[in-house]
Structure formats: structure tokens, C-alpha cells
Amino acid sequence: MTTRADQIHQAISTALQPSHLEVLDESHMHSRGLETHYKAVIVSDAFEGRRLIQRHQAVYAAVGPLMQQIHALTMHTYTPAEWGDGAQVPDSPHCRGGSKHDL
């Protein structure tokens, strides 16, 4: 069975040819249910010379229609040089509530 995380991983791999890619399902930390919240750590030459917003736009373009099936995708995007310099991926915060599903 292919998970949504697998689908996200495949879409990013195909479009951005990353040298490092992690896609983590962090739905368990949130109140919206299964397969809703993801974190992607992406290291790609495609990010060279691009501002953060441009990097995120490239990831959104890669993931495309899958974004309609999830609530959140946290992105940490790095060039190989940034990653090689010891970039630190921040921990994700736990959900603070606020879900319409809790009403």
C-alpha cells in the first residue's frame, strides 16, 4: 500500500532530484486525523540562487494536487552547501488545538 507520505516523496523526488529527502508523517501530533500533516526536509541543487518563497513554490508545484488531500506541509529546503554546513532542522511543535473537528 502506498501512503500519502510515499506519494509526496515520489513527487518531490521526480521534480527536484534531491540529494537528501525526508518526508515525515506528523499527523499524530495534530488533531485533524491520519495522513494530514507532513514535514519535508529537502536538499536540492534546484534551490541554488532561489529565495525561500521560491523554494517553497517549487515544492508546491512538485506536490501539485496532493496538497488538496492534506492539511499542512512543513518544508525545510536547503542547497547542498547549506546542508553541508550543518543546517539544523527544527523540531515540529505539537498541535495547539484549534481544529474545526473539535467543535
What is the tens place of the pLDDT at every residue in 69-103?
888 899 999 999 999 988 888 787 666 555 444 44
- The verdict on residue 95 lying in a domain is no
- The verdict on residue 102 lying in a domain is no
The pTM of the full predicted model, rounded to 2 decimals, is 0.84
- The verdict on residue 76 lying in a domain is yes
> By residue range, what is the domain housing residue 22?
4-86
- The verdict on residue 43 lying in a domain is yes
| Domain harbouring 44, CATH code | 3.30.300.90
For 34-53, b where at least 16 C-beta lie within 10 A, e where not — what string? ebbbbbbbbbbebbeeeeee
Q: Which of 8, 25, 4, 22 is nearest to 62 (CA)?
A: 8
Region 61-66 average pLDDT: 95
- The verdict on residue 80 lying in a domain is yes
- Our count of domains for the chain comes to 1
Q: Which of 26, 21, 68 is nearest to 43 (CA)?
A: 21
